[in-house]
């Protein structure tokens, strides 16, 4: 597998699955632009790990309106033409219907901005460039919750990821004629700092996974790299489940 022809922007790449995606893409030869929100040192550490494959790190707070378009402009100014986008950045906040009105509105607004609006704005900017050149690739990190939903107290997260999945499918169907390939990943729990550690939550979470463990970040990176490799372009519009058998469609 060879990604020597790929220059990719990975959002949320300073840690967790995003860092693993950046590292795996670089391992196969891609040039990588590392996006981060607030932890510049962590982003620079990822760039150092990528060595000569790192283009550099770019900051943007995706919870702010218009951030997606600004990030694409910054990234292309730094890297030149970019032909792959991985929308990995995402957040999960409590959105409890039984909570206060203020908390309900705030969580929905922020989650939808980061998990849906920013990826849509980034994809829109990328699509304009990709269509003009006749080729491009987008991978959107959705979720098992895109299909099966989530706990009632995290309904905004599930809704945002479901919306991102529908957007991915729509984009793939509409842009294929222009040489733009779009894929969605739908992982369950990933073994990152966002995974549960409280035994009361961890036990039940593992119990529902037939494979018996959370997915490793490197697995998400490997699948992303494969999709960006163009080894199977007819898989455009596909959703790849990575959940250890905990949700089977």
Residues of the chain with pLDDT > 90: what percent?
A: 96
| Per-residue model confidence (pLDDT) at position 197 | 86
Give the containing element (helix H, strand E) for 185: strand 180-187
Distance separating alpha carbons of residues 142 and 219, to the nearest angstrom:
15
Q: What is the mean pLDDT of residues 88-101?
A: 97
The residues spanned by each domain of the chain are: 7-240
Which one from 36, 157, 183, 247 is the annotated catalytic residue?
Answer: 157
36 labelled catalytic: no
Yes or no: say if 192 and 15 are a contact pair by the CB < 8 Å rule.
Answer: yes
**216 phi and psi angles, rounded to 5 deg:** -85, 145
| Per-residue model confidence (pLDDT) at position 163 | 98
Q: Let me know if domain 7-240 sits in CATH 3.40.50.720.
A: yes
pTM of the model: 0.97
| Residues 6 or more apart whose Cβ sits within 8 Å of residue 19 | 13, 42, 46, 217
Question: What band does 194 get if pLDDT is binned at 50, 70 and 90?
Answer: confident
Is residue 83 scored above 90 in pLDDT?
yes
Tokens coding 75:
């990234």
Give the containing element (helix H, strand E) for 105: helix 101-112
Tell me the pLDDT tens digit for each residue of 140-190.
Answer: 999 999 999 999 999 999 999 999 999 999 999 999 999 999 999 999 999
Q: What is the mean pLDDT of residues 211-237?
A: 98
């Amino acid at each position: 597998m060879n990604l020597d022809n790929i220059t990719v922007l990975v959002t949320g790449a300073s840690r967790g699955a995003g860092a693993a995606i950046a590292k795996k893409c670089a391992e196969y030869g891609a040039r990588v632009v590392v996006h981060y929100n607030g932890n510049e040192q962590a982003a620079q550490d990822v760039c150092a790990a990528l060595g000569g494959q790192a283009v550099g790190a770019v900051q943007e707070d995706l919870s702010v309106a218009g951030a997606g378009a600004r990030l694409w402009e910054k990234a292309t100014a730094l890297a030149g033409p970019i032909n792959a986008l991985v929308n990995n950045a995402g957040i999960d906040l409590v959105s409890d219907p039984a909570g206060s009105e203020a908390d309900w509105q705030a969580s929905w607004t922020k989650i939808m901005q980061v998990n849906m609006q920013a990826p849509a704005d980034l994809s829109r900017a990328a699509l304009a460039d990709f269509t003009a050149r006749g080729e491009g690739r987008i991978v959107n990190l959705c979720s098992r919750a895109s299909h099966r939903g989530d706990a009632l107290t995290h309904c905004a997260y599930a809704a945002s990821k479901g919306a991102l999945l529908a957007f991915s499918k729509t984009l793939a169907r509409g842009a294929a004629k222009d040489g733009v390939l779009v894929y969605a990943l739908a992982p369950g729990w990933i073994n990152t700092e966002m995974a549960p550690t409280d035994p009361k939550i961890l036990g039940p979470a593992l119990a529902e996974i037939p494979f018996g463990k959370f997915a490793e970040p490197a697995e998400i990176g490997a699948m992303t790299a494969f999709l960006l490799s163009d080894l199977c372009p007819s898989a455009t519009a596909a959703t790849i489940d990575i959940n250890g058998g905990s949700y089977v469609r």
